Structure 1
Amino acid sequence: MKKSLIFIFLLVFSIILVSETIIVEENIQQAIDKAKDGDIIYLKAGTYKENLSIVSKNLTLVGEEGAYISYVGKDPKNIFNSSPTIYIENSNVIIKNLEIGSVNSIGIGLLNSKISLSNVNMNLDNAYGVVCVADEEKESFLEVSNLSVEDVNYKSSSGKNVSLNFNSVGIMLSGDSMFVANNIEMKGMKNGLILNNKMSYIYNSDFLENENVAIILSGQQKFINNRFELNVETFKVANSPEVELVGNVFKDNSYNFVIKKDDYDSYQNFRHFSGKIIGFSNILQSPEILNESFGKYFWK
């Protein structure tokens, strides 16, 4: 009798854990609304002109080759007035093999959630690729691999000291947000990364022809084995972050490092720098410093 009860319990438990694959050809949000935790939403090839909301669910979104989600926000002067192309709150979401287009909006907005992106291409026009935030006493976690982020106005340049006037931001994190990135390719951004979060670990990535690669305002930020080439400014550092650079290559950037001591109009927290930058085995082939000495902390 005891063995029979155990068998019945395991059978019921296994049924609960079985996930369903929902195949989508027209409306993704309808599939999300009816999906249960653990379900896989499979997008057939095609263009889906909608913005999505995933709240309090654990789901996987997988795209067939040619699956494209596109959304145009209503307020080009303030993209935060529009809903993100994909909004995720209090959820655990995996997104694979998708192309996402955002105009006047945020591509993926993440609040108090965990998200994994792999093999995702983001095409931006006056947009933010990913915005990751966390409320007080909560955390968000963003993990990416094989992610391409590009401004639609981007055109490759063969010259040095590139001067770009694009208007998109690749990834922005704040609060108790964790960020792990492997193999990002980011091109043509006004600001590639805005890091005002707890910790980031970025490695094996390429940042090419951006106006600014990274604005670093707080947290422990580690860059390992990355390539920074033909950017106007690679790092802007302010406040008190701890930035660790290991095995990176800096080539033909106008400026590799800018230490901000004055106020910066666009970011109210951009104040006097009192942190430290520690570098190990980095290779520099372009101007190194603008208006500041790193002292004993740099190239330690």
Structure 2
Amino acid sequence: MIICQTIAEVKSHISNYRMEQGQQAKVGFVPTMGFLHEGHASLLRRSKQECGLTVLSIFVNPLQFGPNEDFDRYPRDEERDLQVARQEGADVVFMPSVREMYPVPAKTRVLVSGVTERLCGASRPGHFDGVGTVVSKLFHIVGPDRAYFGLKDAQQVAVITTMVRDLNMPVEIVPCETVREQDGLALSSRNVYLSPEQRMQAVVLSQALALAGQLAAKSTLGADELQRRLSEYITAEAPIAVIDYVEVLSYPDLEQLQPGEPLGSVGGSWIVALAVKFGTTRLIDNRLFWAKEVSSHV
């Protein structure tokens, strides 16, 4: 496994691979902010199955953190990250410093409108500008054929997919299923912040999504009613939880569904998305549904 800390290094290794392999070269890319868990590991395994070279990036991007958010507190464990990377067969690990990625203050931002105004974009203004900017930079540095993202942050997948489509970036975005603990809690680097009581009550997110599946089977139920029932359920089952949002939207364009329209008659796909705070820790989760069926990627 090759560890690169500079842009020049990682570009050189990938260029050499492409020259050696010629038209057979296939580069898979897993961009992360580190503190790797089984969710990240599953992305690496998928890339290893489909690509000849797998590149992992570990970079805590300051542009996607607001002034009152947890950039300095964001969990970091370089030694453990490299151990996971080796175990899962990453070929190249790109671990740049902030100075390497932003040698001067960035004057350019990648703004994806429409899909960024709701959900996390509403409560974290500027967050997805930072995501779009850093992912665009990483795509230009690595030049992958395929990039792998977990659907736990389905809005991020929608933003990046839209960016790639609109800017004709030559990379295939591969959404991958959310990985969960045995009790259903979606894996997240921020789970480490939870106290024992918060951790116990945090399972309400996955339980609410399971309830959404049951309720969605009732063809007469509309989005507004589903949102109301899920909010009531979370409040009742997790007294310490503070709801940021419970939304039912079309996917991937993240637009509101027609008021009163029965979910059973919705065409295309739609998403139930949750964001809930436990103390200072904000967790997100979601479930995707397809037209006239109760099915999900999670």
For the superposition of Structure 1 and Structure 2, which TM-score range results when normalised by the shorter chain? Answer: under 0.3
Q: Which has the higher contact order (CA 8 A, sep 6+)?
A: 2
Q: Which entry has the higher C-alpha Rg, 1 or 2?
A: 1
TM-score, normalised with respect to structure 1: 0.26
What TM-score do you get using the length of structure 2 for normalisation?
0.26
Greater strand share, structure number:
1
